[in-house]
């Protein structure tokens, strides 16, 4: 990969890593489901005017909005509210082991011994996180793990959609996710009006970061990189994501950095690396 594209890939994963801090700051002042709904509404407003309604694909996009928009992002933000950003950044890396497992179940793709060992390592890292001295809320940790599984399941829907422009898919998925998120917020959250009235520049700055930097800019750059470069050269950059997420949480929010968090993060990252960087020969068996 040339230096320009490598730099762009590094910028993208840095933005996504810092986004854990933005999500944490935003959900301190706004209910997490409401925060997610507002984020998606802004993304939809920014994207949809430039892309026509995708005919013949609305049912699958509607399903994706539930699995990805609500099941992944909505639940993830609820989980982040009860965790520190560093723990959430590490636990969310289970997306990759879950994706490998879902592909094995749905498409018969072979995991192989390296894939299985990677899953065990990643899960062991999250289990270690659950027992650290600054004990995380186990329900919140479980919600982040569920969000990782929902992300893996959303890939099945994306695959059924077939070729589709990424920004079009992003915008319309966000639009369809807003109503169920608002409904869930009305059912399980409270104080939304007061929260909106009292939210300060920190919450709205975090919202702007998630909308502009993490959603619009980062995803656009990422899709362009995927189009220009072989996937196996681009995807390994995502291994920097939890590292930046942990560093951002510690430096920006003053979160504690225990040995369990370091070792658990290393185990999870090693497991993800084993899965992502499996030998091509093994994948072809």
Separation of CA 216 from chain center: 14
**Predicted TM-score (pTM) of this structure:** 0.87
- CA 68 to CA 217: how far, in whole Å? 19
The DSSP call for residue 136 is: P
Return mean pLDDT, the chain: 86
- Say if CB 33 and CB 184 are below 8 A apart: yes
Percent of residues, the chain, with pLDDT higher than 90: 40
pLDDT at 187: 96
pLDDT at 128: 78
Per the rule left: phi > 0, alpha: psi between -120 and 50, beta: everything else, 61 is alpha
Which of 69-73, 158-162, 180-184, 186-190 has the weakest average pLDDT? 158-162
Per residue in 177-187, is it b (16+ CB within 10 Å) or e — as a string? Answer: bbebbbebbee
pLDDT in tens, 84-113: 888 888 888 888 888 888 888 887 777 778
Contacts of 13 (CB under 8 A, 6+ apart): 237, 238, 240, 241, 244
Q: What's the Cα-to-Cα distance from 57 to each of 7, 11, 53, 67, rounded to whole Å?
A: 35, 32, 9, 15
> What average pLDDT score do residues 21-33 get?
95
- CA 177 to CA 106: how far, in whole Å? 25
> What average pLDDT score do residues 109-125 get?
80
Angle separating helix axes 240-253 and 259-276, nearest 10 degrees: 160
């Amino acid at each position: 990969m040339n230096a320009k594209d490598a730099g762009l890939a590094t910028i993208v994963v840095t933005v996504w890593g810092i986004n854990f801090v933005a999500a944490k700051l935003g959900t301190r002042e706004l209910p997490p489901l409401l925060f997610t709904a507002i984020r998606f509404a802004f993304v939809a407003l920014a994207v949809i005017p430039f892309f026509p309604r995708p005919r013949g694909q609305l049912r699958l996009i509607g399903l994706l909005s539930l699995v990805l928009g609500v099941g992944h992002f909505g639940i993830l933000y609820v989980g982040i509210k009860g965790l520190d950003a560093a723990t959430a950044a590490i636990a969310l890396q289970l997306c990759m082991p879950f994706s490998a497992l879902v592909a094995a179940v749905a498409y018969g793709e072979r995991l192989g011994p390296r894939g299985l060992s990677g899953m065990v390592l990643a899960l062991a890292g999250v289990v270690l996180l659950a027992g650290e001295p600054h004990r995380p809320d186990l329900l919140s940790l479980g919600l982040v793990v569920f969000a990782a599984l929902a992300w893996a399941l959303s890939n099945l829907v994306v695959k059924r959609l077939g070729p589709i422009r990424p920004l079009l898919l992003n915008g319309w998925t966000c639009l369809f996710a807003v109503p169920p998120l608002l409904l869930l917020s009305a059912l399980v959250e409270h104080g939304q009006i007061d929260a909106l009235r009292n939210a300060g520049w920190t919450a709205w700055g975090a919202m702007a970061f998630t909308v502009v930097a993490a959603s619009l800019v980062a995803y656009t750059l990422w899709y362009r990189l995927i189009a220009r470069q072989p996937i196996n050269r681009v995807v390994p950059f995502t291994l920097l994501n939890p590292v930046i997420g942990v560093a951002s949480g510690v430096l920006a929010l003053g979160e504690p950095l225990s040995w369990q968090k370091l070792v658990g993060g290393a185990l999870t990252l090693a497991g993800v690396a084993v899965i992502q960087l499996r030998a091509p020969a093994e994948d072809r068996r």
